[in-house]
Every structure is written in C-alpha cells, then in structure tokens.
Amino acid sequence: MLDHTLMALTAGTTAILFTRLLYYSSYGLDLKTEGFYLLSIANPFLYAINVSVSLFGFVYHWLYELVGGDIAVLRMANITLNMVLGWILSLLVIRRLWAVGWLESAVLSAGIASLILCHFSPSWGLWGRTPTHYSLTSQSILMVMIGLLLADWPGRIHRGVGSILVGVGGWCCFMARPPTAAAIAAVVILRFAVCRRRSPLLMLGAALVALTLLSGTAYMIDGGITGFVTRIVNSSAMEILRADGHELSLMFRIDRLPTSRAQFAIDVLAAIALLLSVLMRRHRLLLSLSFAAMLIVTIAIALLGTDPVGIKPSTLFLVPAFTCIGATFYRQGSVLRTQTPTTIALALTFLVLPHLSALGSGLNYWLVGSMDALFWMLAVVAFLSPLAQRGRGVAMLLSLTVFAQLLTALVINAGILNPWSEVKDLRANTAVMPMPGGGKLVLSQSFHDYLTTAKALARAAGLKVGSPILYLTGLAPSLMYVLETRALGSPWLIGGYPGSNAVAVQALGLENCADLAKAWVLIEPGAPSHLDQPSIMASFGAGQADYVVAATFEPPIIEGTAYPNGPTQFLLKPVRPAVQAEQSCREARIKAANHNENEQDGAKIPPFWRAH
C-alpha cells in the first residue's frame, strides 16, 4: 500500500508541476527578447538574414498559424511537446536498462522527465516558454536520442521509426543551431558505429530523411539550394561582424561554472542525500516515509510558490555529477566493474548533450546547458543501472525521481517569482491585455499601461498595422510585435556590440528603398544599447530633418535589466515625399557601392553587400 501511495504521489507531483507551468503560460511578456522570437515565428519569410544563424522561425511558423497566433496557446504547445518528448526518452532509457514494470516505468519516467520543464523557467536571462532556437534545439536532440534508442531495439518497425526520428531531429537541429547539428551528427555516426545491431541502412535512411527535409526547406524558403546557402553564409557574416561572442574562435571553449561556496556545499549535501537514498538497503519503511515527505514538500513548494533555497543553474549539473562520482566508491568501485559498453556510452552521451546544445551560443555554456538538465539526470539513470538488483530497481529510480521533481519545483518557482526582464513575480500580474492573433496575456499593471498607451498613441499618430518601421533602440522588440508593424532589416537589430551599427546598415541594405522611404523610426537616445541614428539613416539617404516626433513612450522601470530607468522612446514619422525619399535612398546606395569598389581591403566587405 505504501508503494502504491508513493507512485500516486509521484504521478500527482508530476501533474502539478506540469499544469502549474501551463497555467502561467498566459502570464507575462519579456520586454527584451520575446518580441524577436514572436516576430521571427509570425512571418519569417520577410527577412533575408537570420539572427544567430537560426531558422527556428520557419519551423514554428506552422504551429503559430495553427494556434491562430495565440501566444498563451503557443507556449502551452511548446511546453507540452518538450514534456512528451522528455517522457518518451526517459521511458525508453528505463525500459532499456532497468528491470521495472510498465506501470512503474511510466510513472517514474514522467517524474524524471519533469526536469525538462526547467527549460521553460523565465529566469537566468533565458526565456523559453515561447518557442525559440533554444527550445527547438532541445526538442531536436530529444528526437535524435529517442530515434537512436528505438533503432537499437529488435524489430524492423522500431528501427525504421528510429531512423526517421533521427533524420527529422537532425533537420530540426540544423534549423535551430547549425553548430549543434554538426556535433549531433558526429554523435549519431559514433552511435551507429558502436551499436551491436548497427546497420548502414539505418544511418543512410536517417541521412536521407534529413537531406530530403533540408532540400525541401531550401526550395520553400529561398527557391533553391544556392539561395539557402547564401542565406546561411550571409547570416554568419553578420554574426562575425557584430562581434557579440558568436565568432568561430570562441565556439569551442570551457566556461566558468557559475556557482558559489554556499551553493557548492548545498549541492554536495544534496548529492550525499541522493546517494544514501539510492544505496540504502535497510530501513525500507523509513526510506519510503522520507520519500513521501519529500513529495509532499515538493507539492507544497509548487502550490505555495516559495523559493526557500534560491537554486542556481549549477545545481542542476553538480548534484547529478557528485552523485555519479560518489557512486564510484560504493563497494570498492563495483559500479564501474559492472558497467557495460552500452551504459557507459549512453551515460557519457547524456553527460555532454547539454553542452552540445549550447555550442555556438554567445552565452555561458553552463547556463544554456542547464536548460537541458534532463540529460544530466538521465546520465545518472544510465550510470547507476548496474546497481539495481532484483526488487531494488523501483526504489532506486524513485529516489532519482523525487530529487528531480524537487529540483524542478524550485527552478519553476524561481522563474515565477523573479522572471527575467519583467516586473517581479508573475503571480502579481492582474492586467489582461489583448494581443495580436486574438489571444490575451496577463501582465503587470505598469507593463500593460506602457503597451496600451504606446499602441494608442501610435495609432493616433497614423501608424497602421503592417507599416514598416526602423527600430533603433537596440533592445525590446516586443513593442514592435504589439504594434503589429514590420521591423525592417531584422526582427531585432541588436545594439550594444562593437559591430551593431555596421550590421544594422548592412541588414537595411537588403531592404527595398520603397519600404525604407515610408518607414517610421523608433529611437531611444537614453538606452545604453541604442543604435547610432545618424549613420544608419545616412545609409539610405535620410536625416533627422526628414522626420518629426509623432509620439513618445515611457517604458516601465524593470530592475536588474537593461531598462533600470525606463528611458523615453520617440516614435518618428517620415515627412518627406515618398518619391523623393526613395530617390535619396538609391543615390546613397550608389555612392556607397562606388566607395566600396575603391576600397583596397575587399576582404572586409561581405559578398552580399557588394551584390546590393
């Protein structure tokens, strides 16, 4: 009866964690980056280049259309997809390595898979509820690993489905982050090479699926392979020119693990407690009661919304890592002696996958990798599987499940209480605001007032839906999405980097002069990362005198972000006749082209700039 009670508590905890995150899908909007993701997904075909060399917008565009542009439903679909894929992968790992019944496997794998929900915690400077290149990378790696495990099972159906999933996952990974796709391809090749049931046809089938999807995508987006390759090359050139940490020389690096002595001590104690609960053979009743108490505490933390520990991303790696290290000393290293090539390969693969998912990112790799902390916990599941004796598998997996759920509850609450780039505590949001697409979001009152006022003033000034706009604040493209305008050059002209202004000039050089001639301009002179207005305007033959201030906006004060003081934004309306402005744009481009031809150092001029 106690075992059944624990299973029910575990299943209930998983359901609470999942539904709680779904509930808050309609809460909040990231002022800094979420607008970039939404603009990229809403209409990715408007742009000739892609920020971060990611094509995630084309993949998620069909989902955006399916939900009618409702942001809350879009977030729910994204969260659900990750949870389902994480559950399937965890279930396959447990069924592959542990002697546990189907019911126990389903319940415990769902509990362990709840760690994938850490991906969607709106904290740590990453926003994952709305589909992004981060979420697509995670989902693609999950699909690849599911496919690899299925391909290792006997039966043609399993192998065929596994091969297809590997191919689809590989294509999605390339669309999300090409450097990660290359690394995952190496993992797949190595896996097929060492697998006992290896078959060249399986790897060939996966490659054929990926190449077919990639070719179809190239023709759909750019009309052919040449145009698609040009898009990738030009986008890469933009990243290098911006100098924001995406350079090739910085791709392969070892970042510092962000932690502290106090956090380190907490992680060591947590790993010791996890090891004791896994390896204890006696006092089964006491251990079961402890599990029940921890599950009740986890449910209380989730429902009450408290954050008693102040968990850091490093915890999601250090606890699994210390657990594996400590297990190696159990019974004079018996865990190492009983390992099989399958468990070793699987554990090592899961251990490095979070870093592979971060490959090419300009952020700290540990921070980005913590979004896929499920893989670190699955490495523990694979590593400890040889210790499971008859009748002990459920108890050991239950220990891992309980700790995974506790970590998940703490991470989710940290994000709800302290969301990134928002007024603090999502639970305090009460202002309901209609959004483009027909959906609604619950925002803080100050953020709601800012967006509502900005939209009303812009419409009164004559800014219509779909109007082209030049966004020179360097941050916060979410306003562009709310105004339902078309941001020129890129959904987000990022500011604050050495090459930001040069990238903005070159991105706008790919736009039509007719659109630039009638484009409105949004500037924010007081922002720390604003773009240089005179030089960028001069690139298409415009100046300050060609615009008048049509409206001013006051962004909300958000502590701990790039908007601590809420600098004033100015919406500028073009006053020159469109024909004159268009002619000035053409003349400016001809002058720039002649100047570039006279440059001696032609290597500094990207090929796409010469073409235009």
HSE value, Cβ hemisphere, 13 Å, CA-based, for 344: 9
pLDDT at residue 404 is higher than 60 = yes
Mean pLDDT within 574-599:
86
Q: Is 593 exposed, middle or buried (0-12, 13-18, 19+ CB in 10 A)?
A: middle
Mean pLDDT within 343-371:
90
For residue 470, list its beta bridge partners.
521
Q: How confident is the model at residue 195 (pLDDT cuts 50, 70, 90)?
A: low
Mean pLDDT within 147-154:
88
Rounded-to-integer distance, Cα 271 and Cα 279, Å: 12
pLDDT, residue 276, reads 86
Amino acid identity of residue 302, one-letter, is A
pLDDT at residue 313 is higher than 90 = no
Rounded-to-integer distance, Cα 181 and Cα 176, Å: 8
At 334, list the tokens.
Answer: 């018996």
Residues 6+ apart with CB under 8 A from 608: 230, 233, 234, 237, 506, 510
- Contact (Cβ atoms closer than 8 angstroms) between residue 487 and residue 43: no
Domain boundaries, the chain: 2-239+283-417, 444-611
Residues 6+ apart with CB under 8 A from 410: 301, 307, 308, 309, 311
Q: How confident is the model at residue 610 (pLDDT cuts 50, 70, 90)?
A: very low
Q: How confident is the model at residue 128 (pLDDT cuts 50, 70, 90)?
A: low
pLDDT, residue 355, reads 93
For residue 549, list its beta bridge partners.
572
* Mean pLDDT, rounded, of the chain: 87
457: left (phi over 0), alpha (psi -120 to 50) or beta: alpha
Rounded-to-integer distance, Cα 150 and Cα 165, Å: 9
The secondary structure of 311-332 as a DSSP string is --TTHHHHHHHHHHHHHTTTTT
Rounded-to-integer distance, Cα 560 and Cα 422, Å: 9
Chain segment 425-436, per-residue pLDDT in tens: 888 899 999 998
pLDDT, residue 612, reads 39
pLDDT at residue 390 is higher than 80 = no
Radius of gyration (Cα) for the chain, nearest Å? 26
Chain segment 523-535, per-residue pLDDT in tens: 988 777 888 999 9
Chain segment 53-107, per-residue pLDDT in tens: 899 999 999 999 999 999 999 999 999 999 999 999 999 999 999 988 899 999 9
Stated as kind and residue range, the H or E segment containing 132 is: none
- Contact (Cβ atoms closer than 8 angstroms) between residue 597 and residue 556: no
What does residue 471 show for φ and ψ, rounded to 5 degrees?
Answer: -105, 105
What does residue 227 show for φ and ψ, rounded to 5 degrees?
Answer: -65, -35
Chain segment 222-279, per-residue pLDDT in tens: 999 999 999 999 998 888 888 877 777 778 888 888 888 888 888 999 999 988 888 7
Sign of CA dihedral 56, 60, 64, 70: negative
pLDDT at residue 126 is higher than 60 = no
Stated as kind and residue range, the H or E segment containing 469 is: strand 468-471
pLDDT at residue 7 is higher than 80 = yes
- Contact (Cβ atoms closer than 8 angstroms) between residue 573 and residue 547: yes
The secondary structure of 63-117 as a DSSP string is HHHHTTT-HHHHHHHHHHHHHHHHHHHHHHHHHHH----HHHHHHHHHHHHGGGG
Q: How confident is the model at residue 123 (pLDDT cuts 50, 70, 90)?
A: low
What does residue 276 show for φ and ψ, rounded to 5 degrees?
Answer: -60, -40
Rounded-to-integer distance, Cα 218 and Cα 124, Å: 35
Tell which wins on pLDDT, 199 or 416.
Answer: 416
Tell which wins on pLDDT, 490 or 193.
Answer: 490
- Contact (Cβ atoms closer than 8 angstroms) between residue 379 and residue 112: no
DSSP 443: E
pLDDT, residue 603, reads 45
DSSP 382: H
pLDDT at residue 452 is higher than 90 = yes
Rounded-to-integer distance, Cα 521 and Cα 531, Å: 12
Chain segment 462-508, per-residue pLDDT in tens: 999 999 999 888 776 888 999 999 999 988 888 888 899 999 999 99
Place of tokens 């502290």: 260
For residue 552, list its beta bridge partners.
570
At 40, list the tokens.
Answer: 């990229």
pLDDT, residue 458, reads 95
pLDDT at residue 122 is higher than 60 = no
At 325, list the tokens.
Answer: 């290290």
pLDDT at residue 22 is higher than 90 = yes
Rounded-to-integer distance, Cα 82 and Cα 605, Å: 41
pLDDT, residue 389, reads 62
- Contact (Cβ atoms closer than 8 angstroms) between residue 52 and residue 112: no
Q: Using H for helix, E for strand and C for coil, what is the string for 513-582?
A: HHHHHCCEEEECCCCCCCCCHHHHHHCCCCCHHHEEEEEEECCCCCCCCCCCCCCCEEEEEECCCHHHHH
pLDDT, residue 281, reads 65
User: How do the residues of the chain divide into helix, strand and coil, expressed in percent and rounded to 5?
Assistant: 65, 5, 30
Q: How confident is the model at residue 562 (pLDDT cuts 50, 70, 90)?
A: very low
